[in-house]
Amino acid sequence: MSATIQSIEAILVDIPTIRPHKLSMTTMGVQSMVIVRMKDSNGLEGLGEATTIGGLAYGPESPESVKLTIDTYFKPQLIGQPAGNINTLRVMLNRSTRGNNLAKSAIETALLDLQGKRLNRPVSDLLGGAIHQHLPVLWTLASGDTDKDIEEALGLIETRRHCDFKLKIGSRPVMDDVRHVAAIKEALGESASVRVDVNQAWDEATAAKGMAELQAAGIDLVEQPTPMKDYAALVRLSGKFHLPILADEAVADAKDMYNLAASGFAGAVAMKIAKAGGPARALEQAAVAQAAGIGFYGGTLLEGTIGTAAALHAWSTLETLHWGTEMFGPLLMKDDIVVKPLNFHSNGVDLPQGPGLGVEIDEDKLNQYRRKA
């Protein structure tokens, strides 16, 4: 008889960041995560994670709402169900609950981790098998201070921890941002790839001006310059410049990817397991992007080690990650809640080994950072 789901716990965890992390819509000093612990009737435990950026500043789900959704809506449906029938459980949750992709991603991740431990196989095997054991990882420079960002980048290049950098812009006047970015690119030269993330802060006219200046400054990629649902602006801008656009907030799942590609968008897509509703759903989106000739980028919502590991297992199964990944979330946090942190080196990170996600909770650290009622 197959194992059944016996218990599900959703735990709020708050870990300070190593420095303020400035985005166009908010500045983060603490990362809040929902850690899911799912146990089956054989005594095995699956781990999942849902994380957002700055509470509700980034999107419609917050850590608090994710916990509420799991505790109130998902848990009663899942308890007693066969733990190995992941597709059936996904369909059931999708029929009973609209949206809430972050919460669904945490559940799908926990189910995959549980299945991997049951079969003694890594999650990447459940998704078709890893092609890559080491994945490239860029670093986001988000202090907002030009000299500090240059110093930080040069130090990371020297230690070979990162050689690609993304700059968070959009909160200042466009030409102030351009000067900031251009100065950093000039200081780093050809030794590093420099990209920018505008986080939807520009209208189309501002984006056209900003992209012209950024293209002239030698920037490699501009992420989501315009509001998420303004597909037409992304399409027009992608046809106007040879500087590629990375669609992020505009594309959550495979259907969004199809609609954007069908409208004529040429560029790249930032895939995130949380946006898509789980690792397997993110790979459906990748299949659509590949068919449309749109490049891949392994995106993050600044997850901790559990969520990062889940994404790495998914990205490892893709033949080509045209723009690499940004799975640096654990490095942004002052501490960790797992026994063995991920191994970041040689401008990237190793795929965790072992059954399931390949990560184990550190109970003392979890209790230290668990949000007290």
Q: What predicted TM-score, i.e. pTM, was given to this entire model? A: 0.95
Same domain, 201 and 212: yes
Q: Among all residues, which ones are annotated catalytic?
A: 168, 326
Q: Is the per-residue pLDDT at 338 higher than 80?
A: yes
What is the reported pLDDT for 26? 72
What is the reported pLDDT for 373? 78
Which residue(s) pair with 48 in the sheet?
Answer: 36
Whether the CB-CB separation of 170 and 205 falls below 8 Å is answered with: no
Same domain, 16 and 72: yes
What is the reported pLDDT for 25? 66
Q: What percent of the chain has pLDDT over 70?
A: 99
Same domain, 45 and 75: yes
Q: What percent of the chain has pLDDT over 90?
A: 91
If you average pLDDT over every residue of the chain, what do you get?
A: 95
Asked whether residue 323 is domain-assigned, the answer is: yes
Same domain, 40 and 64: yes
* Residue 346 structural domain: 126-350
The amino acid that residue 279 corresponds to is: P
Distance CA 95, CA 83 (A): 18
pLDDT digits (tens, 9 = 90+) for 234-274: 999 999 999 999 999 999 999 999 999 999 999 999 999 99
Task: Give the model's confidence band at 87: pLDDT under 50 very low, under 70 low, under 90 confident, else very high.
Answer: very high
Q: Is the per-residue pLDDT at 156 higher than 60?
A: yes
Same domain, 179 and 66: no
287-309: string of b/e by CB count within 10 Å (b at 16+)? Answer: ebbeeeebbbbbbbbbbbbbbbb
Same domain, 198 and 327: yes
Asked whether residue 81 is domain-assigned, the answer is: yes
What is the reported pLDDT for 27? 77
Same domain, 136 and 47: no
CATH of the domain at 283: 3.20.20.120
CATH of the domain at 10: 3.30.390.10
Same domain, 201 and 301: yes
What is the reported pLDDT for 143? 83
Q: Is the per-residue pLDDT at 12 higher than 80?
A: yes
Asked whether residue 356 is domain-assigned, the answer is: no
Spell out the residues 6+ positions from residue 299 whose beta carbon is closer than 8 angstroms to its own.
248, 270, 271, 272, 275, 325, 326
Q: How many domains does the chain have?
A: 2
Where does residue 330 rank: exposed (0-12), middle (13-18), buried (19+ CB within 10 A)? buried
Same domain, 197 and 97: no
- Give the residue-averaged pLDDT of 174-184: 96
Same domain, 114 and 150: no
Asked whether residue 301 is domain-assigned, the answer is: yes
Same domain, 193 and 303: yes
What is the reported pLDDT for 59? 81
Same domain, 136 and 34: no
Asked whether residue 355 is domain-assigned, the answer is: no
Asked whether residue 29 is domain-assigned, the answer is: yes
Asked whether residue 263 is domain-assigned, the answer is: yes
Q: Is the per-residue pLDDT at 1 higher than 60?
A: no
pLDDT digits (tens, 9 = 90+) for 252-263: 999 999 999 999
Q: CA 36 → CA 51, 278, 287, distances in Å?
A: 11, 13, 28
